[in-house]
Amino acid sequence: MLDVGLNRRPITRFTRAAIAVGVVAITLPIAALAQASFSTFSGSVFDPMNGLLPRTVLILTNTTTEAKYQVRSDAAGRFEFVGLPPGDYTLEANLPGFSTLRGTVSVTGQDVFQEIRLHVGELEETITVVAEPSDRLTGTATRSRRLIEGPLRKRPLPLCTDALAGGIGGRIRPPVKIRDVRPIYPEAVADARDEEIVHLNALIATDGTVKEVVVVEPAHPVFAAAAVVAVRDWAFDETLLNCAPTEVTMRVSVTFRKE
């Protein structure tokens, strides 16, 4: 305060303008850099009937840094990841009763919006068929054990007037097998190994019948045919999604053993 050489005159209009320009020049690049560095990935999760799916767990993993980000869809099926650095990410979405969805997302500095659709989960069956003594000695299968009957009664279909109330879906009733058919160990096969394994994919129709059976990995053709014949005879009651019958896929593994 006692420095007589200090300029105490008010700041001129020109000086104020120069300072303002300088502040803006510094602030704008910082703001632009911040905006370019982080993004939001958001969207909604649906079932095959366009019903929204709350409580879905979604996980993003940066393929370079392996950093993980996890959120859960809200009561209206919406999700949002915030503050994502640019990069490529793997996406995983999980909800009980539905197949896990896996995909990729690229973040380049701009916000990303995406709708995600989950499919009804697959059924899995594992069967072991052991050759009967008569099969090993004479090549004759015990056919009387081939068919194992279930109750042969389907559960009644529920009466639903609000199947998609509020647009919310995700209600699943898994199927119940009502007819089981055991594969027959094939009659004497000269080149059969001690253990033959057959992997199948099957499609259960809306009425519970098995309408498609496909061998998905190389297998001995005789044993593959025996497995396919049995699985085609299976029957289920209806798989329900939001009270409506729906198709469902099934993976079946059949192991044939000599002993």
From first to last of its 259 residues, the chain has per-residue pLDDT tens of: 455 554 555 556 655 555 554 544 444 454 444 445 889 999 999 999 999 999 999 999 999 999 999 999 999 999 999 999 999 999 999 999 999 999 999 999 899 999 999 999 999 999 999 997 654 444 444 443 456 655 568 888 888 877 777 799 999 999 999 999 999 999 889 999 999 999 999 999 999 999 999 999 999 999 999 999 999 999 999 999 999 999 999 999 999 998 7
The structural domain count of the chain equals 2
- The predicted structure's pLDDT at residue 23: 44
Q: Give a yes or no: residue 97 inside a domain.
A: yes
The verdict on 158 and 216 lying in the same domain is: yes
Q: Give a yes or no: residue 32 inside a domain.
A: no
Q: How many CB atoms lie within 10 A of CB 175?
A: 20
The verdict on 142 and 104 lying in the same domain is: no
Q: How many CB atoms lie within 10 A of CB 117?
A: 14
The verdict on 79 and 149 lying in the same domain is: no
The verdict on 152 and 253 lying in the same domain is: yes
- The predicted structure's pLDDT at residue 25: 47
Domain end position, chosen among 82, 117, 152: 117
- The predicted structure's pLDDT at residue 187: 87
Rounded Cα distance, 210 and 228, in Å:
11
Q: How many CB atoms lie within 10 A of CB 257?
A: 14
- The predicted structure's pLDDT at residue 219: 94
Residue 130: which domain range? 123-257
The verdict on 159 and 134 lying in the same domain is: yes
- The predicted structure's pLDDT at residue 191: 93
The verdict on 74 and 183 lying in the same domain is: no
List beta partners, residue 102. Answer: 92
What sign has the CA pseudo-torsion 217, 222, 223, 226?
A: positive
- pTM metric for this prediction: 0.74
The verdict on 183 and 79 lying in the same domain is: no
Q: Give a yes or no: residue 85 inside a domain.
A: yes
- The predicted structure's pLDDT at residue 148: 61
